Amino acid sequence: MIKNDTWIAQMAQKGMISPFEAQQIRHADDLPVISYGLSSFGYDIRLSPAEFRIFRHIPGTVVDPKNFNPENLEPTKLYTDENGSYFVLPAHSYGLGVALEKLDIPNNVTVVCLGKSTYARCGIIANITPAEAAWKGHLTLEFSNSSSADCRIYANEGVVQLLFFEGEACDTSYEDRKGKYQDQLEKVTLAKV
């Protein structure tokens, strides 16, 4: 069953989401922001300003998820202007960022992440895997820019919505099987095997 705002707020009080905003935030410091915080049946997390990396082509190489070359990712600059802080994702490119919020998912819940419509309307596709039962850490967030124009992705503002699905507790959680992406820090985590 998908969980509602009351349940999400109660679980956040127990440490499931930190930091936690108990309502949708649409303005910060008297400026409009891409919304983040609690919604009716989800929670919109923010992009951390800590790090954003863009895939770059290195002639003669192939990206290999079993032997990932960190040279294929290039750190990008955080810009700031009157609209806020942002990273630029070039046209037809792919980038990795990290969630500002830290998650601590219960062992009877799996989280699915969906892209926000504000970014979808600009050609940004969020490609994010689920956070399984008992997963902990800062999510690494994946974004594709399918448009023919460069696009800003704002730090400290909403980038994806989390949907929480509860079931019976599983026999073996992500934590129990020592999942390779457990306890991610607030930095981009590269592909692992």
* 142 given a catalytic annotation: yes
Instruction: Count the Cβ atoms, other than its own, within 10 Å of residue 89.
Output: 25
> What is the C-alpha separation between 14 and 1, in angstroms, rounded?
20
Catalytic residue among 51, 142, 175, 186: 142
Angle ∠(140,168,39) on CA atoms, nearest 5: 50
> What is the C-alpha separation between 31 and 43, in angstroms, rounded?
21
**Helix (H) and strand (E) counts in the chain:** 2, 15
> What is the C-alpha separation between 66 and 114, in angstroms, rounded?
26
Q: Is 191 exposed, middle or buried (0-12, 13-18, 19+ CB in 10 A)?
A: middle
Catalytic positions, written as ranges: 142
